[in-house]
Amino acid sequence: MTTKIEGGLPAKPVEASVVSESQARAGSPREAATATPPVDSLRLTGEAVGLKAMARDLATPSKLDMARIKEIRNAIDSGSYQINPQDIANRLLALERELLQ
């Protein structure tokens, strides 16, 4: 015995309502079981809070020490600016350690 199912009929949408556990207790009046919309909540992790603070800090323009910039430019132009590769490497490593925490 075989049964053929015809797919020509449109599907009826199913209406569902959200009922909280306290509202849908046995023996309670039907009027008390009205649907209430769920409340969304959001909690940020520590990393997200840190990233938000960093983005806020980066969005504000920093104040440039023009006197220090002029001093460094003059030192570069005169050839007296000293580059310390060990200091650069130490600062890069410190930055990496900070980013990994």
Residue 43: its pLDDT value, please? Answer: 83
Tokens of 51: 């990233």
Give residue-wise pLDDT tens across range 6-24: 666 555 555 555 555 555 5
Q: What is the pTM of this model?
A: 0.33
Give residue-wise pLDDT tens across range 31-84: 555 677 788 888 878 888 889 999 988 888 878 899 999 999 999 999 999 999
In degrees, to the nearest 5, what angle opens at C-alpha 89 toward C-alphas 87 and 93?
Answer: 115
Query: Domain boundaries in the chain?
Result: 65-101
